[in-house]
Amino acid sequence: MTNLVWLITGCSSGFGELFVRQLTAEGDRVVATGRDAETRLAHLKETGAAILDLDVTLPQAEIEKKFKEAWDIYGTIDVLVNNAGYIQCGALEEISQEELQRSFDTMVHGPINLTRAALPYFRQRGSGWLLYMNSQSGFVGEPGATAYCASKFAIEGAVESLSKELAWLAPGIKPLIVESGIHGTEVMAKIQHVPSRVPFWEPLNEAARVRSRGNYENPAGSAPDMVSKVIQIVKGTGIAAGRDIPLRIPFGSHCLSEMRKKIEQLQKTYDDWESVAISTDLEEGKIPMPRLPDEK
């Protein structure tokens, strides 16, 4: 397969760094980005990747300038990998509005702004991949992880809507949400815990700290293996050969187990409350807007 050009955010460590190293080893061209790139991405220069300073929390206009700068390096971009992020722990009552906003700026507005910047280029060419490195926390809420889960849930909803918009009018552009369980990366060692602001929640906070240390010291999954498989999915090789690619793909048995558990709970709720749910229906056949192609 022809080698691709990738733009990747959050490359200082973790999944981002792994993408850069694996892709350049395969002969693909990469624009590796991050904040304070000259310093924080210096260890990636040996890979041959282009290094670009990019803070995903910049305003839309600045993001668009940065995307064009990245595009102009190789004259194209085939795959945008929205990977930048961090984990902020703390109970809902203790998380401040400012802390919640920082999570949304990085993991919701950042990817959405970059997507807006990429779409005109991808539409003109008629193709492109939009990857969102997400988490099981985008489907299953976790105690003590309000800010992280809220932002991950939000980007799931935004990208699901985007996928239906693209399927209708730009089917050559493919979004993919990677729902990762616990894999061994440095992000688990960099979790930010809010100060103890409400004594009532201290047992929860301490449990979150213990869980974080355990996840870092004994991860459940191989991060390099996961990144390798995501690359195969984009290229249609290996595990992805001959398969249709869905909007979401989970990684990790614990992730899959937690998601299935929630689906079972939801199904039971919908079955138990079906009669109540349909009791508010008005007369059938009234459609508030034209049906989209994927609607039955």
pLDDT of 292:
64
pLDDT of 205:
86
Which H or E element spans position 247? Answer: none
Catalytic residue among 74, 121, 132, 148: 148
Q: How far apart are CA 44 and CA 17, in angstroms?
A: 8
Long-range contacts of 287-292 (CB under 8 A, 24+ apart): 292/164, 292/168
The three-state secondary structure class of 220 is coil
pLDDT of 296:
45
pLDDT in tens, the chain (296 residues): 679 999 999 999 999 999 999 999 999 999 999 999 999 999 999 999 999 999 999 999 999 999 999 999 999 999 999 999 988 889 999 999 999 999 999 999 999 999 999 999 999 999 999 999 999 999 999 999 999 999 999 999 999 999 999 999 999 999 999 999 887 666 666 778 888 899 999 998 888 887 777 665 666 689 999 999 999 999 999 999 999 999 999 999 999 999 999 999 999 999 999 999 999 988 765 666 666 666 54
Q: Domain residue spans in the chain?
A: 5-254
Residue in 147, 73, 154, 69 with CA at minimum distance from that of residue 114: 69
pLDDT of 192:
80
In angstroms, the Cα distances linking 60 to 46, 95, 252 are: 31, 26, 34
pLDDT of 193:
83
- Pair 35, 10: CB distance under 8 Å: no
> Is 121 considered catalytic here?
no
Q: How far apart are CA 58 and CA 291, in angstroms?
A: 36
Q: Which residue has the tokens 């920082």?
A: 102
**Domain 5-254 annotated CATH 3.40.50.720:** yes
Q: Which residue has the tokens 């409350």?
A: 273
